[in-house]
Amino acid sequence: MSYQKLKGTLDFYQQEAAKMRFIEEKAKTILNTFGFEEIITPIIEPTDVFVRSSGDSSDIVNKEMYTFNDRGNRSITLRPEGTASVVRSFLENKLYVNSPLTKLYYCGPMFRYERPQAGRYRQFMQFGIEVFGEGSAFLDADVIISAYQLLSALGIKGIQLKINTIGDFISRKDYAAKLQAYFAGKMDDFCEDCQKRLTKNPLRILDCKVDANKDIVQQAPKIKDSLSAASLSHFKKVTDILSMMQIPYQVDETLVRGLDYYTDTVFEFILAVPGELQGLAICAGGKYADLVKNFGGPDIPGIGYAFGMERIMMVMNSQSLFVDTFKKTDVVMICLDEDSKKVGLAFANHLRSENLTVEMDYKNYSLKQQFKLADRVNPRYILIIGEEERTSGIFTIKHTQKNTQEKIKKENIVTYISDKNNENS
Ligand code: ATP
Ligand code: MG
């Protein structure tokens, strides 16, 4: 019997796994400079954690969650996103007691029962951040800047930042009523989901993957006409700071985001260069003034975003941005008889303790067969040990790029390899 991975899941091996870790490391390096610390939460949570935060009319809660009862008959969900788990942990561990501002990042798999297609999977990796404690426009802007810096550090070109404000809870209620009145009677050819959204949460019609591009949707009343003066001035401050920092952005009045918990600033980074990946959303986030309170915690505002790591990888592949994700092998050992293999294995481990990457052929004894492995691995050096080398303690070392060969005392080999003059590959 042979098995295949589940639909909508991916294996990452060798090069692809190294690329994934490369993105993660780069992201961590940048976020450390912004004062973020890591949080690792469980992949499973009580289902209610997600229902309470995302909202029971969201696509995630309605259609996409992997939910099951465990053997103790508790309803458990594989996390579909990071924010709810982080808020749960922030409250459960009372992190707000230690400091007025908490900056956290996370990285790990998320699960959504979606229709799989390029860049959309059922298990995917997100790298995200959450900041708790501050509602200032300066924080909103700095959070957006951190995402921008991260994409710049990865070298990604052609990214567009879309930003909007969706105001506070009261303004949104007012706006929802306006949308209901506007859409009533105009939705005959809209999808089934949108028909339900009209009464449950009409804002989501603007976010619909099927209907959002329809003229009727594009011409719908705009949220800014329902917003309070405070929301509008907050948004102006955020965009002014972004302009001051020369971060390019585009205000997109139809950007509403799919989750219930956002307030005021929402944003997305999408790929704007022509081609197959044009329009792909790479990062999304926003401010959530009331989420912590709605979870039963103190009245502490938060803001966060999440990157889709597979999507970053797709874009970086398409822009040929992975160059030095691999450590090259320093040495391949070629050992010509059983006793030389013993000496070689010991010496390989000595070199490894000096932080060199060393491989050897475990099986073959002939020079020709072992050179085959060396050719495939393409190391900087090849070390040859036969009876003569073994007894004299003087090994033959071949510089593969220069195609030169020398005999070096074994105790001098680490220095020889580390010597910059010999290192031109
Ligand atoms: P989309 O509009 O593409 O469905 P979303 O609004 O559901 O995205 P978020 O929940 O905000 O996305 O997640 C943030 C980021 O995570 C997205 O911008 C995207 O890069 C990535 N992402 C979301 N869902 C998936 C998925 N099913 N597969 C791969 N990446 C995903
Ligand atoms: Mg989605």
User: Is the C-beta atom of 116 inside 6 A of ligand 1?
Assistant: no
Looking at residue 124, its pLDDT comes to 98
> In degrees rounded to 5, what are phi and psi of residue 114?
-110, 170
Q: Is 124 in the pocket of ligand 1 (CB under 6 A)?
A: yes
pLDDT above 60 for 422: no
**Is 58 touching ligand 1 by the criterion CB < 6 Å?**
no
Minimum-distance ligand to the CA of 207?
A: 1
Predicted confidence (pLDDT) per residue in 263-288, tens digit: 999 999 999 999 999 999 999 999 99
Residue nearest to atom 30 of ligand 1 (CA): 308
Q: Which fold does the domain 331-424 belong to in CATH? A: Rossmann fold (3.40.50)
Instruction: Tell me the fold of 15-168+228-318.
Output: BirA Bifunctional Protein; domain 2 (3.30.930)
**In the predicted model, is pLDDT for residue 88 greater than 60?**
yes
Summarised one tens digit per residue, pLDDT across range 375-405 is 999 999 999 999 999 999 999 999 999 999 9
pLDDT at 425: 45
CA of 240 to the centre of ligand 1 (A): 28
User: Where are the domain boundaries for CATH 3.40.50.800 in the chain?
Assistant: 331-424
What's the Cα-to-Cα distance from 376 to each of 18, 224, 368, 369, 424, rounded to whole Å?
Answer: 19, 61, 13, 11, 20
User: Ligand 1 atom 21: the closest Cα is on which residue?
Assistant: 308
**81 Cβ below 6 A of ligand 1:** yes
Q: Is the CB of 284 under 6 A from ligand 1?
A: yes
| pLDDT value of residue 420 | 54
Can you give the pLDDT at residue 258? 66
> What are the residue ranges of CATH 3.30.930.10 in the chain?
15-168+228-318
Give mean pLDDT, residues 324-330: 77
Residue closest by Cα to atom 7 of ligand 1: 258
Residue 146: closest CA among 233, 239, 242: 242
Counting residues of the chain whose pLDDT is more than 70, the rounded percentage is 97
- Reported confidence tier of residue 260, pLDDT bands at 50, 70, 90: confident
Residue 20 pLDDT level (bands cut at 50, 70, 90): very high
Q: What are phi and psi of 331, to 5 degrees?
A: -140, 135
Q: Are 381 and 354 within 8 A, CB to CB?
A: no
Q: pTM of the full predicted structure?
A: 0.89
With tokens 């495939």, the residue in question is 376
**Predicted confidence (pLDDT) per residue in 141-199, tens digit:** 999 999 999 999 999 999 999 999 999 888 888 898 999 999 998 898 999 988 988 98
Q: Whose CA is nearest to atom 23 of ligand 1?
A: 308
d(CA 415, CA 395): 14
Please check the confidence at residue 64 and state whether its pLDDT lies above 80: yes
Choosing from 110, 113, 129, 252 the residue with most ligand 1 atoms within 8 A of its CB, the one to mutate for a pocket test is 110
